[in-house]
Structure 1
Amino acid sequence: MDNQDLLRCGAAQIAHRPFAGDALLNAHLDMIASAAQKGVGFLVFPECSLTGYPADLQQAAAMALPADDAQILQLAEASSEMVSVIGFVERGADDSLYNAMAWVFRGAVMAVHRKINLPTYGRLVEGEIFAPGTGTTRIHLPNGWQCGGLICADFWDPGLAYLSALARDAVLAVPFASTEEAVGDGFSNADGWLQILRNHALVYGMPVVASNWTGAFGDMRFWGGSAIVDAKGDIAACAGREPDLILADIALADTEAARRRLPTIRDLSPAILRAEIQGLMEHDYGDP
């Protein structure tokens, strides 16, 4: 990770096997070891990757870990050559449950982001399980790049993606847990994700590393499709439906060139948004 201008990114697509002993922990360790051999500097796992994605409150409570859990610290120790993004069901100090992601590196938890947008529609019930996070999160990678993180539906919230762009994140981690059936008939999660990944990366000149599960989730199925998208909105690497480790090199010069060519971030208007959002909230227009 000494090269300031080039970052080798990886998305670790693993099989969903909750409550299977150390299966998920070992899958992480295997992927981290493989990524280290390939020179990866930044590795993203799926949403709730270490614990499994919960189907209900009872499962979430059984899965939950504190952010300083021994398993998370073990993965931090293993991540000696790269920053790894680990998803987990977090048990907070107040005993609330959060859908969380941790950036870990060289034995330490660098930061934790708690999911803000909790989907509760179709067959998604996160609003019945988790407490929401209260803000976006970003860190600086060892090479100096600023890295943001949005979990699944956070990325579908235009305002949260806007904040990542406004903060000028150089790369964005997006762990997600998407099944084919979650939203309902007539909506393709796979097509929707491909569109929104390319859209956000293109519009903001912001590379995205997105990692999904594969395998069964009750009577539904995770469709995989983890992807690394460059600052031009092009797919640099994409997984299929099986477990996989995909890699792509992201160049800071390419991101800077993309932002000059399409200067969306330069021309953002946060002051106007702040004023109009405040006015809408004062008139209750902000609530559907």
Structure 2
Amino acid sequence: MKINIRMAAAQTVDQCDFRANLVQHCRFIEAAGREGVKLLVFPELSLTGYHRERASANSVELTSPSLEALRRASANADVVAVAGIPLMIDGRLFIASLVIRPNGTMTSYHKQYLHPGEDLFFHPGTGGPASLESMGVALAICADTNFAEHAAAAGALGVNVYAASCLITNGGYDHDSAQLSAYAVKHDYAVLLANHGGPTGGFDVAGKSAIWDERGNCVSAALSTGNQLVIAERTSGKWTGRVIPQPFE
């Protein structure tokens, strides 16, 4: 059964500083709350930027006090936020998505498939409990989406949304966006892409965060880079979307 949902991709620009990125995330969550968004997804490693060589030093644990600001923002805005972070668990480092719920609970999804070179810094994950089944959402992080079996596994769960936190460059965007649109059609779910909105880790990112419906049609998309809130809503089976540039200024 397709459920009603209002969701958004937070296309953020890396400030190359955790505290500055944290403030930016909280402002995005507040803006999403004002728009009635219930699920807000950020890009891969959004809280620190995609800086592999500094990932260990920038890592957090789920119990880290530095994450309390996100808990408060989520609770105040009544928004489930999915934010990217290098996560340390039992001495092992993962590329993770933190799932922060308005009730104060926090879980994590761990990237399962690593790009070449990432294995020098991170361990591959096994997913995690953060599939957001109550909202009908399955999570993915960047390279996960390059493996058809990952997208198929989400489809087998009967989810309504496949939400991907990514870093996609200009050179890779056409291929990756076409692939995500094709997944939507094949598995009968909507697809959300949250991409970085500016350079990070030396990569020339594409921006163009987007949301596709179950037929692979683009409902809402950022046309370029920069801070943007890309919103899509399904109500009674019909999709509408819009984009808010610089949503907190």
What TM-score comes out, normalization by structure 1 length?
0.76
2:132 maps to amino acid: I
Q: Is residue 229–residue 237 contact of structure 1 (8 Å, CA) maintained in 2?
A: yes
2:233 alignment partner AA? D
The match for 1:74 is 69
Instruction: Quote how far apart the aligned CAs of 1:106 are.
Output: 1.6
Choose which of 12, 15, 38 in structure 2 pairs with 1:14. 12
SS of equivalent residue, structure 1 residue 62: helix
What is the deviation of 1:107? 4.7
Aligned: 1:238 with 2:215: no
8 A Cα contact 1:214 1:221, kept in partner: no
2:206 is the alignment partner of 1:223: yes
After superposition, the Cα gap between the structure-2 partners of 1:60 and 1:139, relative to the gap in structure 1 and judged at 3 Å, is: same
Structure 1 runs of 4+ aligned residues shifted over 3 Å read 251-255
Structure 1 residues 158 and 218: CA distance shift in structure 2, 3 A: closer
SS at match of 1:168: coil
Q: Distance in 2 between matches of 1:16 and 1:101?
A: 16
Question: What's the CA shift string for 1:159-202, capped at 9, x where partnerless?
Answer: 1111000111111221011233xxxxxxx311012101111111
Shift of 1:22: 1.8
Tell me how far apart the structure 1 counterparts of residues 103 and 68 of structure 2 sit (CA, whole Å).
6
Whether contact under 8 Å (1:73, 1:107) holds in the other structure is no
Q: Which runs of 5+ in 1 are unaligned?
A: 181-187, 256-288
2:39 paired residue number? 42
- Matched residue type, 1:51: T
Q: Distance in 1 between matches of 2:26 and 2:215?
A: 32
Is 1:61 the counterpart of 2:56? The answer is: yes
The CA deviation string for residues 41-65 of structure 1, in whole angstroms up to 9 with x for no partner, is: 1110011111221232xx1111111
Residue 170 (1) aligns with residue 160 (2):
yes
Q: CA offsets per residue over residues 12-49 of structure 1, 9 Å max, x none?
A: 0010122x252100110111111111110111001111
Partner-residue secondary structure (3-state), 2:204: strand
Question: Residue 26 of structure 1 aligns to a residue in which SS?
Answer: helix
1:97-126, CA deviations, whole angstroms, 9 ceiling, x for partnerless residues? 100002111253343111010010xxxx21
CA offsets 1:114-146 (integer angstroms, 9 cap, x no match): 1010010xxxx21111101124541234xxx32
**Contact 2:43 2:83 survives alignment (8 Å):** yes
Percent identical residues: 28
Q: Decide which structure has the larger Cα Rg and report it.
A: 1
Q: Relative contact order, CA 8 A, sep 6+: which one is greater? A: 2
User: How big is each residue's C-alpha offset from its partner over 1:136-158, in whole Å with a ceiling of 9 and x where there is no partner?
Assistant: 541234xxx32110111101111
Count of residues in correspondence between the two structures: 234
Which residue in the other structure is 1:87 paired with? 84
- Give, as a single letter, the amino acid of the residue that structure 2 aligns with 1:68: T
Q: What amino acid sits opposite 2:152 in the alignment?
A: Y
